[in-house]
Amino acid sequence: MTGKFDIRSWTCPLPLQNYPTIVMGHGSGGKMMSDLIRHMFLPLLENEALIQLGDAAVLEIDPGNTRVSRLAFTTDSFVVHPLVFPGGNIGDLAVYGTVNDLAMTGARPLYLSAGFILEEGLPMDLLGQITTTFASAAEIAGVQVVTGDTKVVNKGHGDGLYINTTGIGLIPPGIEIAPSNAQVGDAVIVSGTIGDHGMAIMSIREGLEFETQITSDTAPLHELVETMLAASMEIHCLRDATRGGLAAALNELAKSSNLGITFEEGAVPLQPAVIAACEMLGMDPFYVANEGKLVAMVQGEMAEEVLAAMHSHPLGQEAAIIGQVVAEHPGLVVSKTNIGGSRVVDLPAGELLPRIC
């Protein structure tokens, strides 16, 4: 990270330190907004393209490569509340979330844009903390934030901060990964313990708080994907399991491919504390959100090799084969329970709510 956020060192005609919180003027396109950009965002995100401050960034993509690769292009919006949670904040969530969307196509993520929608009254210190994390995450993920936008909304009209991103990356030739590409006999692999992010958020949610070591698993997955592809190109589907949890990811893949999925509940990696938290609140861990986990459908014969490759990467150490793609019950995900029964694992109905019954 190049710049460091320190409000005391700013020296500009209208010192930003006069404003401990965001006010409407910061979004009106004038001097105040210009100062905010120059003194808050630029020093932290500094790169050649961004400092041009043009409307759009002009980027050299893979110079010297005469075969034009395919472009992966994504957009995402981050509205998480609270803004800061155990293991991260909306800043790294936004970067890794976007990077992961790209990584699920097999792309190498390259550039991000960032639109910050700030609520009047947002403390400057907090914005600084989040932007620092945002910049640091971009560096860790090896992507550049090359263009941005800033808006301010009236107090009461935005949860402190919303971030919208787009991301682009390049897909090397020969990679054919798509939700509809699953084949009968594919192994279903999950990259690690599930439910961590959702329960980390739950642990600080008003009215439900509890003490725990659970932290969000927010992380960039593109290098893990590269490691997997190096072991085998027969990776047919990838999905990052975010909102809706493992169940949503599996269901989406089953429906896109119009095939069935079966998996063993006992094979799904779960941290004991996450299990305990889910039991206490009456929630099913298969529906709890993740931010650094992926589901892969891999050609059956290559599954063990891909798994071994995953185990060699820090983000895949607890990866496990949990099931397979089948021709039966197309579009449905069915699990085998640990007593030998079975149940359909459907898409979650809506927001996951704690229960007493």
Q: Smallest distance, Å, CB 254 to another protein?
A: 13
Q: Are 81 and 160 in contact (CB under 8 A)?
A: yes
Q: Are 315 and 244 in contact (CB under 8 A)?
A: no
Q: Are 319 and 303 in contact (CB under 8 A)?
A: no
Segment contacting another protein by CB under 8 A, of 14-22, 145-153, 170-178, 330-338: 330-338
Answer for which of 14, 56, 61, 208 binds another protein (CB under 8 A) is 208
Q: What is the DSSP letter of 30?
A: S
- Cα–Cα distance measured from residue 288 to residue 348, given in angstroms and rounded to the nearest whole number: 10
Cis amide leading into 272 (omega within 30): no
Interaction of residue 346 with another protein, rule CB under 8 A: yes
Interaction of residue 272 with another protein, rule CB under 8 A: yes
Locate 6 and state its tokens: 């320190």
Q: Smallest distance, Å, CB 203 to another protein?
A: 8
Q: Smallest distance, Å, CB 249 to another protein?
A: 17
Interaction of residue 271 with another protein, rule CB under 8 A: yes
Which is nearer to another protein, 281 or 302 (by Cβ)?
Answer: 281
**Residue 147 burial by Cβ neighbours in a 10 Å radius (0-12, 13-18, 19+):** buried
Segment contacting another protein by CB under 8 A, of 169-177, 203-211, 225-233, 318-326: 203-211
Answer for which of 115, 275, 299, 318 binds another protein (CB under 8 A) is 275
Token pair 């459908």: residue? 297
Contacts of 230 (CB under 8 A, 6+ apart): 309
Backbone φ and ψ for 326, nearest 5 degrees, come out as -130, 165
Interaction of residue 279 with another protein, rule CB under 8 A: yes
Answer for which of 276, 304, 313, 318 binds another protein (CB under 8 A) is 276
189 pairs with which residues across the strands? 296, 321
Residues 92-151 that bind another protein (CB under 8 A): none
Which is nearer to another protein, 8 or 355 (by Cβ)?
Answer: 355
Question: What is the x/- site pattern for another protein, positions 310-329, by CB under 8 A?
Answer: -------------------x
Residues 58-77 that bind another protein (CB under 8 A): none
Helix (H/G/I), strand (E/B), else coil: 53: coil
Segment contacting another protein by CB under 8 A, of 6-14, 68-76, 86-94, 333-341: 333-341
Strands 88-89 and 84-85: antiparallel
Q: Smallest distance, Å, CB 292 to another protein?
A: 19
Which is nearer to another protein, 274 or 296 (by Cβ)?
Answer: 274
Q: Are 111 and 90 in contact (CB under 8 A)?
A: no
Interaction of residue 156 with another protein, rule CB under 8 A: no
Interaction of residue 273 with another protein, rule CB under 8 A: yes
Interaction of residue 338 with another protein, rule CB under 8 A: yes
Which is nearer to another protein, 143 or 289 (by Cβ)?
Answer: 289
Segment contacting another protein by CB under 8 A, of 20-28, 133-141, 289-297, 337-345: 337-345
- Cα–Cα distance measured from residue 321 to residue 268, given in angstroms and rounded to the nearest whole number: 8
Interaction of residue 332 with another protein, rule CB under 8 A: yes
Answer for which of 163, 277, 289, 306 binds another protein (CB under 8 A) is 277
- Cα–Cα distance measured from residue 315 to residue 277, given in angstroms and rounded to the nearest whole number: 23
Give the Å distances, CA to CA, from 182 to 179, 208, 330.
Answer: 7, 39, 12
Backbone φ and ψ for 199, nearest 5 degrees, come out as -75, -25
Contacts of 353 (CB under 8 A, 6+ apart): none
Q: Are 263 and 276 in contact (CB under 8 A)?
A: no
Which is nearer to another protein, 70 or 336 (by Cβ)?
Answer: 336
Residues in contact with another protein by CB under 8 A are: 203, 206-208, 210-214, 266, 271-277, 279-282, 329, 332, 334, 336-344, 346, 349-350, 353-357
